[in-house]
Amino acid sequence: MSPDRTPAHTTSPHAVPGQAAPGQWEQSGSAGAAGRGQDVIHNIGYRGYEGPRLGRGYARRALFTQALRGAYGLGRSAKSKVLPMLLFATMCVPAALVVAIAVFAKSKDLQVTYSEYVLLMQPIIGIYLAAAAPQAFSLDLRFRTTPLYFSRPLTRGDYVAAKYAALTAALFVFTAVPLLIMYVGALLAKLGVAHQTEKFAQGLVFCALFALLHAAIAAWIAALTPRRGFGVAAIIVAITVPYFLVSALQGIAATTDKNTAIGWLGVGSPGTLLDGVQSKFLGGPSGFPAAQTLDAAQGAVYLVVLVALLACFTTLLLRRYRKAGL
Amino acid sequence: MIAIESLSKRFPRVTALDRLTVGIEPGVTGLVGANGAGKSTLIKILLGLSPATEGSATVLGMDVATQGGAIRERVGYMPEHDCLPPDVSATEFVVHMARMSGLPATAARERTADTLRHVGLYEERYRPMGGYSTGMKQRVKLAQALVHDPRLVLLDEPTNGLDPVGRDEMLGLIRRVHSDFGISVLVTSHLLGELERTSDHIVVIDGGKLLRSSSTADFTQRTAVLAVEVTDTDTHPDGAAALREALRQAGVALHEPGPDGGRAPGAGHLVTLDAADESVYDTVRDAAAGLGLGLVRMEQRRHQISEVFTERSAGDVA
Ligand SMILES: Nc1ncnc2c1ncn2[C@@H]1O[C@H](COP(=O)(O)OP(=O)(O)O)[C@@H](O)[C@H]1O
Ligand SMILES: [Mg+2]
């Protein structure tokens, strides 16, 4: 295979004037764009690359980092930073207020627990997700950039894994940083280290579950809707409509005293599912009507459904890319 | 470089490749075929991205069925369709693609700067690609295929959508990819005549079947053509016809004026003949002198590949 690496200046039996002469092309090619002074640069010959090729694992990590940064508009135009940064600030300011209120009211605990805070901020998180997921998944499909990835050592699985992990991480940061603000504030206000640490840790677990599930759903929708704007709308609908529907049904169940029904209905939307999980397993207060909590059977079902949804949406996402070939 | 052995690809409704067997050597190889001939399908199989229905192929000595990842590390690919995000600059984009090929960040930046310069992109490389002309976009697409210094690049219809000037520039650049960079090239086109100056070797496929595979030099040199233009005189009001008659008697293989012979300006005054060896030049000179005709010009031409193939494929490939 080595002979082909030797520059073969003489192999062209049909060098046509102005066609194959090295150097000549670049000058005509840059006509209009390049200035005079660049002729010197032109003549630097081609240099091969003998350095390391770091392979799939490295490419996956690089793609993860790029997509994670992209979810906050980093490494993109100034305009793309505005929305994520604005939303991120909107996420953090109320957390600081929660701390301030606890300090001024001299209360023994924060008025809002960690996981509860995430659930309360769902509208903001939804908007962020609806912007970030299409950014991570739709653009490469819309502009047909995916073939360039798949023509490299990276596999489709690597691509999906890196992007999904990045969206999950972005969402985790989006929800966990406000909790960190609350936690640091609570410690500064001397609200009881052990208790706060336990609740904060539970809050972080909740953020992770929240991010994993929501990123999977949003990623799949975004990968199905390459067209501009469609993904944004579809994700907002997918996250809010089931949530309000389930909440409304739970409200009806509460007024008719069917309290176990409230628990069962909660499996029906990602938001209520996660609410049930955190009140049952992560020490948070229930956001359900009548502060209904789950019994043991319901708890088990919630966990099974959570895992099933994760498996389902990540599989669907992967399947989507099996088709999106070159 | 590439060995293709009885390769078939059948889709539910069409057979895209039909027991194709062909070998491709280092250098620039043109893969020519009409739309739907199976060129893009072949490239996808060679990249190890689409399994063949039957048959086998190796690229750089590696099996496409089992070593796709290793192949893709050392091969570059330029798709036929648009693939560039508009709100990113060429530099950012090519750096990212270099890293996706496994290059460390610093090397990716250096290689990107080098490669973009080699394809002829200068200040504009910092601007978002949405504002680029088709020619500039094609150069970025080529740059991302070259940035990791592959041993072979697969270019799918790189001249598509370019105007004649842009097309010539792209073809010249492709030639340089091999002559200056030492990277072998497999380049496709649906235009038969286009790749002849660029390629060392031409493979023609039609309906997924091999129509012909031969070295460009082979048939362009074998059929070197001499075109002679002479003046008319009072004794020979049609000088060309007189010369043609004289040469025919001298035993020179003449080309009959083609069906389009009358169309090109001055074509009626041209006598074209096979220049089998050097003595033909003397024969022509002597014949013209004998008839008292002025020799306006005598030039050597290469046969267009399309002419070579017209008899075989009845023009449907071109
Ligand atoms: N994914 C596919 N599914 C079904 N048919 C396909 C697919 N890809 C290509 N084909 C068919 O295979 C044939 C060859 O296509 P292609 O390789 O794209 O041709 P070319 O690149 O030479 O124009 C065409 O008839 C095309 O319609
Ligand atoms: Mg094609």
Where residue B251 sits, what CATH number does that domain have?
3.30.70.100
Say if residue B145 is in the same domain as residue B130: yes
Please report the residues numbered 24 through 63 in chain B whose beta carbons come closer than 8 angstroms to any beta carbon of chain A: 26-27, 40, 43-44, 47, 49-50, 60-61
- Measured from the alpha carbon of residue A326, the closest ligand is 1
B220 chain-A contacts, CB cut-off 8 A: 13-14
CA distance B200 to chain A (A): 7
Q: Residue A221: what pLDDT?
A: 96
Check pocket membership of B220 for ligand 1, CB cut-off 6 A: no
For residue A93, CA distances in Å to A96, A127, B51 come to 5, 17, 54
B26 chain-A contacts, CB cut-off 8 A: 3-4
Say if residue B166 is in the same domain as residue B201: yes
Q: Residue A136: what pLDDT?
A: 94
B85: closest chain A residue by CA: A143
Q: Is B157 near chain A, with CB under 8 Å?
A: no
Q: Residue B284: what pLDDT?
A: 87
A40 chain-B contacts, CB cut-off 8 A: none
Say if residue B239 is in the same domain as residue B123: no
B40 chain-A contacts, CB cut-off 8 A: 326
Choosing from B8, B9, B11, B188 the residue with most ligand 1 atoms within 8 A of its CB, the one to mutate for a pocket test is: B11
Which residues in chain B come in under a pLDDT of 70? Answer: 218-224, 256-268, 276, 302-318
- ipTM of the predicted assembly exceeds 0.85: no
Hey, how many other C-beta atoms are within 10 angstroms of the C-beta on A53? Answer: 17
CA B14 – ligand 1 centroid, Å: 8
B175 chain-A contacts, CB cut-off 8 A: 12, 19-20
B128: closest chain A residue by CA: A77
Q: Is A7 near chain B, with CB under 8 Å?
A: yes
Which residues in chain A come in under a pLDDT of 70? Answer: 1-44, 323-326
Q: Is A145 near chain B, with CB under 8 Å?
A: yes
Nearest to A121 by CA among A206, A242, A231: A206
Q: Residue B282: what pLDDT?
A: 84
> Beta strand pairing status for B225-230 and B15-24?
unpaired
Say if residue B60 is in the same domain as residue B150: yes
Question: Domain of B71: which CATH number?
Answer: 3.40.50.300
Say if residue B58 is in the same domain as residue B204: yes
Q: Is residue B308, in this structure, part of any structural domain at all?
A: no
Q: Residue A38: what pLDDT?
A: 43
Chain A interface mutation, best of B42, B101, B132, B163, highest count of A Cβ atoms under 10 Å: B101
3-state helix/strand/coil string of chain B: CEEEEEEEEECCCCEEEEEEEEEECCCEEEEECCCCCCHHHHHHHHCCCCCCCEEEEEECCEECCCCHHHHHHHEEEECCCCCCCCCCEHHHHHHHHHHHCCCCHHHHHHHHHHHHHHCCCCHHHHCEHHHCCHHHHHHHHHHHHHCCCCCEEEECCCCCCCCHHHHHHHHHHHHHHHHCCCCEEEEEECCCHHHCCCCCEEEEEECCEEEEEEEHHHHHHHCCEEEEEECCCCCCCCHHHHHHHHHHHCCCCECCCCCCCCCCCCHHHEEEEECCCCHHHHHHHHHHHHHCCCEEEEEEECCCHHHHHHHHHCCCCC
Q: Is residue B307, in this structure, part of any structural domain at all?
A: no
Q: Is A152 near chain B, with CB under 8 Å?
A: yes
Say if residue B134 is in the same domain as residue B37: yes
The CA-CA-CA angle for residues B296, B300, B303, to 5°, reads 130
Tokens of A101: 């209120």
Domain ranges, residue B263: 222-302
Domain boundary among B219, B253, B274: B219
Helix axes A122-142, A193-224, angle to 10 degrees: 40
Domain boundary among B170, B204, B219: B219
Chain A interface mutation, best of B100, B188, B302, highest count of A Cβ atoms under 10 Å: B100
Instruction: Give buried/exposed letters for B148-164 (b at 16+ CB in 10 A, else e).
Output: bbbbbbbbbbbbbebee
Say if residue B200 is in the same domain as residue B227: no
Say if residue B108 is in the same domain as residue B253: no
Q: Residue A69: what pLDDT?
A: 96
Residue with CA nearest ligand 1 atom 27:
B36
Q: Is residue B173, in this structure, part of any structural domain at all?
A: yes
Q: Is residue B197, in this structure, part of any structural domain at all?
A: yes
Q: Residue A36: what pLDDT?
A: 38
Say if residue B159 is in the same domain as residue B297: no
Out of A4, A16, A149, the one facing B100 most closely (by C-beta) is A149
Q: Residue A44: what pLDDT?
A: 63
| Number of structural domains found in chain B | 2
CA distance A96 to A126: 21
Say if residue B227 is in the same domain as residue B214: no
CA distance A121 to B237: 96
